[in-house]
Structure 1
């Protein structure tokens, strides 16, 4: 359906009547409401962060925020998270594709009688959230209701055998079975990580007194450990969608890679060690987050591309071109990704532990990273096409989280 056809379909009286009929039961006289379409609710990487972004941007502007989603009954929707969201947002379910994808029209906030309808393209919405954070404005995170928190704490004590007060880390690794989405298979493969590279970090966390819960899809490669304080919930019957949510919301920090569950921890305001990242202009982090990147090689080069060289190739912008990353460019340029080493991940985990314990050190590597990132933003802000697509800012230019100092020291090639 072309944009013109989509707009014509949206403007049909029967379509607008259906929208009103869906939303009207949630409206109260005198309230100002915003309806936000969330078509990709089946993906935790959208169902978790986008409501967090929406509340951060508009909680003080509107009396009620309404999420327009596909039906909760769809198999892949995380139903416990859906229910937690229903405590904070009005949830409206529909199968009307015209309404669910209306944001693609990129028409901004549109008044539809008694409420506003968000027709802002995803890029512009993410852009707005980036600028919101860059201005130091308040972020509104998701929260567990008392019943969910009590249920989770009971599970920790009675089923996991974890003593109350024991800090724990949630670990998620994007394994090969995550890269089977047909349109972005090559991009999915680029994000794949070997769980074994996390083992030294897990061993260190155990020595430091943490428990570690590995979450993920059933059938993920096993992560076995002799310690009873390491639970591979992706491969246990007691793993569940609820535990994915509870543990991500209550952990000391999350240890993850570039995949949906990292956004789940961030939506609940929990810090993360984000490993094996690919550059992305809208890579959102919390202030306490630490991040480290995959190495990239071009063609037959044995030396990894420095950050400056990656920016010259406009790799952060290519990561969000179209509905999917520009995988054809990556293939044409023969870009190869190399995962972080076990030493890289261990160093960043120890650094996070020190930071959370109050031993925060100066991070000159991050200052150089910010300098280069700001230079890149300056270049894309002058690009007319980037501006027209809402891709003219760069989140890493605004101090969202910090480059891991430990990783930068182990990888001096990155900053040159």
Structure 2
């Protein structure tokens, strides 16, 4: 319907009638903030669809025009979005149509779901309201088969479970790295978690881009980021079929979330963005220290603008340093996730109190206010006294 309507709107003979029909159907021209970044494409697209379905009881009649400057971050992901949002090739006619529809109020900017500079991102409320409903997206049979075949080529046994690992590096987008370098993670910080995963029978697939430094080879670990099999299809296929995704403050984990896979996020930043998306997710926030090495308490951070710092230069100007969590803390939260998935995780009343206490630090306007995930159990036991 959306594709046919777009063609009619672009045809002068039918534009007037098509415009009336578009308003009646509530046509949306979806404009993702940065479609050249996979996290934005996944999170904004998925959040918009879920939000519309929750509010209106149906999916939208929507189109999305391919972006310029290199196209979509991942064309396979765009194909999945095309199931709900008709993707139109970027032609001169499509650009003219988009401009006209923008002036007539049909364009839906999805940036508030994810970008939300110094305010609450709408995605957290959407995912909380979506709750236990299943994901909108699942791999096609062809993509499941291709992913399984690639895993076999990488040495992963048939039927083995695996975890996707992603440690953000600075090589993917050097032009704006000076803003985001505090979000970077050394893949070696995952070593203890990798040892735990492999000890419990799993495999680890290191995700990322070819600019990343190679991993030290070890059993049951695949450095997929530097693998010749790497492809847009497998970037999606692996993220969508892992047992869980161990990531950081970088957008690839949003692909796992849109396909319903649980996630651990470490070094979440800003502190007001401590939470991951789904109720089953776990997160560990960065610490904030003075240059002299004193760690600010959560109360100090959340009572000030420091909780909303989004750029590396903000920490520098305030004389502060964002400190990553330790390898031991990553191992602990990984063990918690494995136990949760196995049904053996245990929590005390004090654990529930600590979760509530931390959640109460966040107020309306904080980036992840309303988030429904949890902070790592052992991390809070150590860092949040009752």
Identify the range of structure 1 (132-141 vs 251-260) with the bigger mean alpha-carbon deviation. 132-141
Match of 2:298 among 289, 303, 307: 307
Q: CA deviation at 1:88?
A: 3.2
Q: CA deviation at 1:163?
A: 2.5
Aligned to 2:319: 334
Q: Which fold has the larger relative contact order, with Cα–Cα distance below 8 Å and residues 6 or more apart in sequence?
A: 2
Cα distance in 1 for partners of 2:250, 2:319 equals: 23
Structure 1 runs not aligned, ≥5 long: 1-16, 104-109, 320-324, 382-391
Q: Tell me if 1:219 matches 2:219.
A: no
Q: CA deviation at 1:333?
A: 0.8
Aligned to 1:348: 333
Aligned to 1:21: 10
Cα distance in 1 for partners of 2:237, 2:52 equals: 25
8 Å contact 1:55–1:140 — kept in the other structure?
Answer: no
Identify the range of structure 1 (30-39 vs 52-61) with the bigger mean alpha-carbon deviation. 30-39
Task: Report the TM-score when normalising by structure 2.
Answer: 0.81
Q: CA deviation at 1:57?
A: 0.5
Q: CA deviation at 1:126?
A: 6.7
Q: Tell me if 1:173 matches 2:162.
A: no
Aligned to 2:136: 141
Aligned to 2:108: 118
Does the residue aligned with 2:10 lie in a helix, a strand or coil? helix
Match of 1:250 among 241, 244, 251: 241
8 Å contact 1:46–1:260 — kept in the other structure?
Answer: yes
Aligned to 2:154: 160
Aligned to 1:402: 374
Counting only pairs closer than 5 Å after superposition, residues 252-331 of structure 1 correspond to structure 2 as 252-279=243-270, 281=272, 283-300=275-292, 302-319=293-310, 325=311, 327-331=312-316
Match of 1:86 among 72, 82, 86: 82
Q: CA deviation at 1:80?
A: 1.6
Cα distance in 2 for partners of 1:145, 1:31 equals: 29
Structure 2 runs not aligned, ≥5 long: 1-5
Match of 1:49 among 31, 43, 51: 43
Cα distance in 2 for partners of 1:289, 1:371 equals: 18
Task: Report the TM-score when normalising by structure 1.
Answer: 0.76
